[in-house]
Amino acid sequence: MPTLTDTQSSFTFPILIGDIGGTNARFALLLDAFAEPKMFPIIPTTSYASIEEALQTSILDKTSVQPRSAIIAVAGPVKADEIPLTNAGWVIKPKDMLTALSLEDVIIINDFEAQALAITSIGDDGREQIGAGSILESASCAVLGPGTGLGVAGLVHAQHSWIPVPGEGGHVDVGPRTERDYQIWPFLEPIEGRISAEQLLCGRGIMNIYRAVCESKAQDPDLADPAAVTTHALAGSDEAAVETISLFSTYLGRVAGDMAMIFMARGGVFLAGGISQKILPALRKPEFRVAFEDKAPHSALLKTIPTFVVTHPTAALSGLAAYSRTPSRFGVATEGRRWRT
């Protein structure tokens, strides 16, 4: 079990913080506990063979500052000394990072732990509320992020600390409810016989829904990628695309409502990631919030829970910076996830 030492140890500055998703990696340097993070350009993960190569070429070769610690959030579960990313080709090897990058201390956490940590550091200017409800101070929160995959995490307040709860909640089962669902469900692409939330609520999920909508109407799916579908949907220029994003919003609302109940997230449910920001006009429409609240016999409870779209451009890095500055404020267990020289 994690001990207080595991969760409250401080770090040596300068600290390199990073958020590695399935498609892109974002990094920044934190010179001291009072400095704003120094941001670096976004790195496509496919452009480099390893994180060491990416960091050396794109960051360390371009700054005179040598980080002594690194706190990295990755898209995938963290276990053992080799950490493969769920939706990208990199395998993170912290021991190699210590040697290759001359670091003293490396911590690897789940990317949605970082998104959860960010909830404590972003204010009203970094989020937009969707629908009714009010934040209950010091109550649990939930974070969902449709992107390359579907990330899910909780944030629990206990013993004067914020404790992020990582997991693989994006892989829960989802099923049809409405007559229209039953019409398109046979055309959805399953994985090993089941439809998970991530099969619908991510970039490829948009295409999964879009193709199913088209096939249910005996139409050819003319749009080739998620960007085209969302663009036509928001412009109202393609009927199948409009329905796709409407259904996406509905399914996201259903799963978000499930997570609200799992975590009793009276502190709010937060939608992170690029897709949520891109389809914000669609999420403002009734479908998302109606589906979120449609949780009989607990609909009255769900009506009181607020939902937000995170609009902060680098929310995960903001969360990592907050943790780096005052780790004692957060119950982040580092046992088995911290490597030192």
pLDDT tens over the chain, length 341 residues:
444 444 446 899 999 999 987 778 899 999 998 988 999 999 888 888 888 888 988 888 888 889 999 999 987 778 788 888 766 678 889 999 999 999 999 999 988 889 999 998 888 999 999 999 999 999 999 999 998 889 899 999 998 899 999 888 999 999 999 999 999 999 999 999 999 999 999 999 999 999 999 999 999 999 999 999 999 999 999 999 999 999 999 999 999 999 999 999 999 999 998 899 999 999 999 999 999 999 999 999 999 999 999 999 899 999 999 999 999 899 998 888 999 98
Residue 328 inside a domain? The answer is: no
The answer to whether residues 45 and 86 touch, using CB atoms and an 8 Å cutoff, is: no
C-alpha–C-alpha distance, residues 135 and 262, integer Å? 17
In 10 A of CB 326, how many CB atoms?
Answer: 11
Do 96 and 208 lie in a common domain?
Answer: no
pLDDT value of position 98: 94
Q: What pLDDT is attached to residue 275?
A: 94
- Give a yes or no: residue 219 inside a domain: yes
Q: Do 220 and 269 sit in the same domain of this protein?
A: yes
**63 with 148, same domain?**
no
- Nearest by Cα to 175 from 72, 241, 251, 68: 251
pTM (2 decimals)?
0.87
The pLDDT value recorded for residue 1 is 41
User: Please, which residues have CB within 8 angstroms of residue 102's CB and are 6 or more apart in sequence?
Assistant: 66
Residues 88 and 146 in one domain: no
Same domain, 106 and 137: no
Q: Which residue has the tokens 């499930």?
A: 258
- Tell me if 318 is assigned to some domain: no
Give bridge partners of residue 142 from the DSSP assignment: 154, 269
Statement to judge: residues 29 and 93 lie in one domain: yes
What does the pLDDT read at residue 9?
Answer: 64
Same domain, 62 and 175: no
What was the pLDDT predicted at 3?
A: 45
Based on the domain organization, do 137 and 50 belong to the same domain?
Answer: no
- Same domain, yes or no, for 194 and 269? yes
- 302 located within any domain: yes
Are residues 198 and 131 part of one domain?
Answer: yes
Count of domains for the chain: 2
11 Cβ partners below 8 Å, 6+ apart?
A: 69, 71, 105, 107, 324, 327
Look at residue 87 in the predicted model and tell me its pLDDT: 62
Residue numbers of the domain that contains 46: 4-111+333-340
Cβ–Cβ < 8 Å for 136, 95: no
Look at residue 24 and tell me if it is in a domain.
yes
Q: In this structure, are 243 and 218 located in the same domain?
A: yes
Identify the CATH number of the domain in which residue 135 sits: 3.40.367.20
Report H helices in 185-273.
203-216, 226-235, 239-263
Query: Tokens 């670091």 sit at which residue?
Result: 103
Would 250 be classed as within a structural domain? yes
Q: Which of 155, 152, 144 is nearest to 120 (CA)?
A: 155
> Could you say which DSSP state residue 80 is in?
S
Residue 171 covered by a domain: yes
Within 8 A by CB and 6+ apart from 229, the residues are: 206, 207, 210, 223, 238, 241, 244, 245
Is 284 within the bounds of a domain? yes
Same domain, 14 and 155: no
**At 55, which CATH number?**
3.30.420.40
